[in-house]
Structure 1
């Protein structure tokens, strides 16, 4: 466990047993440990003695390990970690005769660890007398320049948006040619909208949690006759709750461009991971020459 820069990081060095019973015990212990930690980012690295896909083994039968692969994937999902893209060699372990090879070693990272560490992948290097290859994390924070202005569609649904923009446009006093005036007004409004968006939508998740708590408290008071139902605007609180959910869903749809949002899967951890996962896949980690 490491405290750094105001963040909490759990670094786990893994050396998994060879037996399936031993692996199950290790996986469950890690899952139980994580369930007791409300916050923090995770880095699991080492020899897991298991693979996620059949293609990560060569020279041995993959049929008798289907159950193990499935259980390993369930563990990865439960830990909410990601097998970041791998470059270099395909396998990390070779048998003594060189006929059997597997990708037993890897880093599994949480989204927060990837973002804060600027991790773009993992590199499988060389080995010496060991039968396992060394693995490095590739950390290279990408500088894309100034953050681009993005118009969020959910702004149009907010009652304050239109009056806010109209008031800004009318009160901005800029002299010059028409084209210059329009350009400068749009520039100023863009900056003001960034501030407005942060104030109104910046704490959306927190506001949703507060509203849910408020609804539960009001319903508890009404049920226990500790308050007169007519004195509490329960409908107003619920209306606010649904508006907040609508804003949240609109933001997620715009970020993801994924069709299955329509089926109600917007508010899941996997949904958020998919958005960030696509960004990682679009990164160029390394280049390969034809003659290399």
Structure 2
């Protein structure tokens, strides 16, 4: 928040020169680089007035309240108001918060790997068998809301995936060392088989969770419309474009 001493856009000026100059270009480049934007505001648009007269004088929007996507996601109730300047040449700005940080609401989501859990389908089947009065969409939403707790319990049964993978890898190494010393021990061979399968499953679950979170992060980053995001989209579009199609006859 504050007086930036230059306009950001040509329409931020009335009377006098409002064409883009070096200061405006530098300010615009800085805003793009740090990825901030004007917070939604009410009140006056032109926050600075030089030599006011009957025609309004030279007016500019030099004062701004800006933020980034992280700020707006944490403080969704933030409001900005620019008041008339009165006898001053600058307009006062007030940034208000109605209730502070708003509790974030999460939609229906779960880790993909728990679909492999033996109890997953039965948990979903039991919930969908319950009778709920209401419209079709209300029944769907109610079932999904009710499934959050049991699916979270299934997820918690896996514990910390990273620690689980690390522990099983240590156990696998230990048993493989024991088998190397006593290869004829059938009991050790059975333990080795069980630990190997458990370790493979844990690695698969960890990889699945990592891929899912990476996709979610990518979608969130894409919503910011950064230059990097658009560059990657263009590169993907180019690499995925079809240049030629060959028929079975060779045409």
What is the TM-score normalised by the length of structure 1? Answer: 0.46
Note if 1:159 corresponds to 2:124: no
1:111, distance to aligned residue in structure 2 (A)? 3.6
Distance 2:204 2:124 in 1: 31
Query: Equivalents in 2 of 1:149, 1:141: separation in Å?
Result: 22
Question: Is there any run of 5+ residues in structure 2 with no aligned partner, and where?
Answer: 133-138, 163-199, 234-251
Q: SS where residue 159 of structure 1 aligns? A: helix
Give 1:136 shift: 1.1
Structure 2 match to 1:210 = none
Structure 1: distance between partners of 2:88 and 2:33 = 31
Larger radius of gyration: 2
Partner SS, residue 50 of structure 1: coil
Counterpart Cα distance in 1 of 2:150 and 2:214: 24
Q: Structure 2 matches for 1:85-164, cutoff 5 A?
A: 85-97=40-52, 98-141=56-99, 147=105, 149-151=107-109, 155=111, 158-163=112-117, 164=119
Q: Does the alignment pair 1:246 with 2:246?
A: no
Alpha-carbon distance between aligned partners in 2 of 1:130 and 1:249, rounded to the nearest angstrom: 51
In the alignment, the residues of structure 2 paired with residue 239 and residue 113 of structure 1 have an alpha-carbon distance, to the nearest angstrom, of 35
Classify 1:186/1:54 alpha carbon distance in 2 versus 1 (closer, same or farther; 3 Å): closer
Shift of 1:68: 1.9
The superposition leaves residues 49-107 of structure 1 with CA deviations (integer Å, 9 ceiling, x where unpaired) of 01111111111212352x32221122223334332122111110011133210100112
Describe how 1:234-273 pairs up with structure 2 within 5 A.
243=208, 246-251=211-216, 264=232
Task: Work out whether 1:191 is the aligned partner of 2:149.
Answer: yes
Instruction: Name the CA shift for 1:162/1:244 in 2 (closer, same or farther; >3 Å).
Output: closer
Paired residues of 1:118 and 1:141 also in contact (CA < 8 A) = no
Name the one with the larger strand percent: 1
Among 151, 175, 179, which residue is 2:131 paired with? 179
- Residue 249 of structure 1: CA displacement? 4.8
Unaligned stretches of 5+ residues in structure 1: 1-44, 208-235, 266-292
CA RMSD of aligned residues (A): 4.8
Distance 1:117 1:186 in 2: 28
